[in-house]
Amino acid sequence: MDADTAAVLDAIGPRLRALRQSRGLTLTSLAERSDLSISVLSRLETGHRHPTLDLLIPLARAHEVSLDRLIGAPETGDPRVHLEPHRLVAGGVAVPLTQYPGRVQAFKHVLGPRDPALVTHRGHAWIYVLAGQLRLRIGDDEHLIDPGEIVEFDASTPHWFGPADGLSVEILHLFGPEGERPVNRELFP
């Protein structure tokens, strides 16, 4: 085994322990969640047992993280892009695509079923539907938006959006916090 591989394997045990402790789990509670024995978990964390896929997969499921996070796999793809998905309180996942405070922000959202709750806030919003059908309420009006369609609205108007059916909807969401609007250039007459 080469030195790089050995270093990756040696770092997994401490990473597993730190993850378990950061979530306030005991070995006993993690054993129940993962269907692995306390002894196996302890030996993995202390480095007395080499991690294998049949041990790491149940741990990834129990912690609800990717195998990459458990292993500490080297970065791949564009090293400048570090997308971090966030669970939304109202349901679903948002992935920030930009990080420019005070300017138009872009997010990719995957929204699951949730109860409509109208909100208002400053700003301007644009939504492009990637997959599924979006149900959009703006004030008393309700709209169904299909894949490939885009909508824009003033976020100070009471609004809510989510999937139109019991499944999920995937969208790109641009939001201008101070009412900024993107410049729309038409390139083809």
Measured distance CA(69)–CA(45) in Å, rounded: 15
Per-residue confidence (pLDDT) for residue 184, from 0 to 100 = 65
Q: Which two tokens stand for residue 10?
A: 């040696």
In a domain, 77, yes or no: no
Look over the chain and give the mean of its residue pLDDT values, rounded to a whole number: 84
Q: Bridge partners of 175?
A: 105, 125
Determine, yes or no, domain membership for 15.
yes
Q: What pLDDT score was predicted for residue 10?
A: 87
In degrees and rounded to multiples of 5, residue 87 shows phi and psi of: -75, 135
> Given 20, 45, 71, which residue is the final one in a domain?
71
Tell which of 44, 71, 98 closes a domain: 71
The per-residue pLDDT for range 48-70, each reduced to its tens digit, is 998 998 999 999 888 888 787 88
- Which domain-ending residue is among 71, 97, 131? 71
Tens-digit pLDDT profile for residues 119-131: 988 888 899 999 9
**Distance separating alpha carbons of residues 158 and 181, to the nearest angstrom:** 19
53 φ/ψ angles, rounded to the nearest 5 degrees = -60, -40
Q: Could you tell me if residue 148 is inside a domain?
A: yes
- State the total domains in the chain: 2
Same structural domain, 90 and 160: yes
Domain hosting residue 135, numbered range: 86-176
If asked whether residues 61 and 95 sit together in one domain, one would say no
Q: Are residues 94 and 64 in the same domain?
A: no
186 burial class (0-12, 13-18, 19+ CB within 10 angstroms)?
exposed
Domain membership of residue 91 (yes or no) is: yes
Q: Is residue 19 part of a domain?
A: yes
Low-confidence ranges of the chain (pLDDT < 50): none
In a domain, 95, yes or no: yes
Residues 38 and 61 in one domain: yes
Specify the CATH number for the domain of residue 130. 2.60.120.10
The domain that holds 16 is classified in CATH as: 1.10.260.40
> Does 160 lie in the same domain as 97?
yes
Go through the chain and tell me how many residues it has: 189
Where b means 16+ CB within 10 Å and e means fewer, 43-68 reads ebbebeeebeeebbeebbebbeeeee
Per-position b or e across 74-111, b if 16+ CB within 10 A of its CB: eeeeeeeeeeeeeeeeeebbbeeeeeeeeebbbbbbbb
Residues 67 and 90 in one domain: no
Q: Are residues 134 and 67 in the same domain?
A: no
Provide the pLDDT for residue 133: 94
